Amino acid sequence: MKTIICGSGDVGYSIADKLSKEKFEVTVVDEPSEKLNKISDNLDVKVVKGLPSLPSVLMSAGAKECEILIAVTKSDETNMIACQIGHSLFEIPKKIARIRQQDYLRGEWQNLYTKNDLPIDAIISPEQEVANAFHRRIISPGTIDMVELSEKQLKLIGFNCDNNCHHIGLSVRELSAKFPDYLANILFIFRGDKKFIVNSSTKIEKDDLIYMVVETQNLKDVLREFGHKEVQAQKIVIIGGGNIGFSLAELIEKDDKGISTELIEINKERAEFVASNLNNVTVTNGDGLDNQILDEVNIAEAGYCLAVTEDDEVNVLASLLAKRAGTNQCMALINNSSYTSLLSNIGIDITIDPKLITISKILEKVRGGGIMSDYSIGDGFGEVIEAMIKKQSPLCNKNLKELNLPKSIRIASILRDNKIIIPNSSTIFKENDDVVFFAETQYINKLEKLLSTY
């Protein structure tokens, strides 16, 4: 599939890397830079130097034959113009744009993005997606990762197996027999530096990071069985009032769970803007690294401290100061993924990488075959994919025995007639089943072919 990626930053690089490995024919377009040279040197893709919004540059990149255009330059305006030109001059079927400026996305202006106006088929707002990711973790205490699937009837969760877990040493088969009434399915485990899909004989070990799908109504019971009895935080402190901090505060406010929320913003003008646009959030103009400011917002009483400034170092230091002061859990926004593996060892409970979230959302829009959602796991380990089974799909009206799927593709669950099913080898896939899969990266192409209708 011929794909043009406009932008050679971290997201452009990662998307180009991933799609080229999946046999997409990728061309990356951007103005000359070291990052573009790095893509040319390291990846099996074509590179075109030039402003991505110029028709002549897109023509050189093969826009006439292009099937997908992904615009992820630093400029929202360049991304939008590239999509417009891709539509108007080259009739590119699918156009995806990253747009950061929230003013383009709010209120009545959301209706701008139509074929007759500004023809963008899918908009990715990293700040909003990151705010959603933080919010999901806040509302599911005990997890370090949570994604809602299958019309919110199912949750993909990740949690640590610590000293409070009473099932260490049990196999997946023994756990299933012990709790037959729970609709839950362990998919894979991160154990130290190892990441692997489980089988029925896999045994749970201390410090495992377990990923499973669980029916929403069973979530609290399942977490409790694994030793997680955390309760909903009653007080939250957000450090950083940029687009992410503001969007996160809005989500908490709209959620109406009675959570007391404080927000610290160092820029006075921005603090005033945030304060004037939120009703139930207390905004303090100050430095999140100032102990006096942290005392002023009673950081010691906070269930969560969420550090979401644009500076990784500030987020790390603010989290550590909050933890030392008595905050129960700290989450930090970390753009530099090389930091991530170090931070859990120094007291930061959860880190969120906006790049990985953005990539997941773009892949969700790129995938075919009735795919409704796509969530990247473990920095390239694999993807959790939710898809609708179509009548023409090779999966339809067959069971797992007949399909003989590789072990690197796992069936997590099926939503059928508004009921969650945890499948076994004899479960038959039916038309319009809403199915959640996990596939290791090298097997995603095979899964897409199984989901395709041609």
Residue of 16, 7, 13 lying closest to 366 (CA atoms)? 16
* pLDDT at position 56 over 80: yes
Q: What is the pLDDT of residue 341?
A: 65
Q: Compute the Cα dihedral for 196, 197, 198, 204 and give only its sign.
A: positive
> Across residues 361-370, what is the average pLDDT?
83
Write the pLDDT tens digit of every residue in 237-275.
999 999 999 999 999 999 877 889 999 999 999 999 999
pLDDT, residue 454, reads: 52
HEC letters along the chain: CEEEEECCCHHHHHHHHHHHHCCCEEEEEECCCHHHHHHHHHCCCEEEECCCCCHHHHHHCCHHHCCEEEECCCCHHHHHHHHHHHHHCCCCCEEEEECCCHHHCCHHHHHHCCCCCCCCCEEECHHHHHHHHHHHHHCCCCCCEEEEECCCCEEEEEEECCCCCCCCCCEHHHHHHHCCCCCEEEEEEEECCEEEECCCCCECCCCCEEEEEEEHHHHHHHHHHCCCCCCCCCEEEEECCCHHHHHHHHHHHHHCCCCEEEEEECCHHHHHHHHHHCCCEEEEECCCCCHHHHHHCCHHHCCEEEECCCCHHHHHHHHHHHHHHCCCEEEEECCCHHHHHHHHHHCCCEEECHHHHHHHHHHHHHCCCCEEEEEEECCCCEEEEEEECCCCCCCCCCEHHHHCCCCCEEEEEEEECCEEECCCCCCECCCCCEEEEEEEHHHHHHHHHHHCCC
Give the pLDDT band (50/70/90) at residue 224.
very high
Q: What is the pTM of this model?
A: 0.87
pLDDT of residue 276: 96
Work out the average pLDDT over 71-89: 96
Residue 335: which pLDDT band, with cuts at 50, 70 and 90?
Answer: confident
Q: Highest mean pLDDT range out of 285-294, 418-427, 442-451? A: 285-294
- What is the predicted pLDDT for the residue at 453? 63
Band of pLDDT at residue 300, cut at 50, 70 and 90? very high
Q: What is the pLDDT of residue 21?
A: 86
Burial class (CB in 10 A: 0-12, 13-18, 19+), 50: middle
Q: What is the pLDDT of residues 188-222, one digit of tens each?
A: 999 988 999 999 999 999 999 999 999 999 999 99
Six token digits for residue 412: 């997590």
Share of the chain above pLDDT 90, in %: 71
Gap between the Cα atoms of 182 and 187, Å rounded: 15
Out of 55-64, 124-133, 375-384, 425-434, which region has the weakest mean confidence (pLDDT)?
375-384
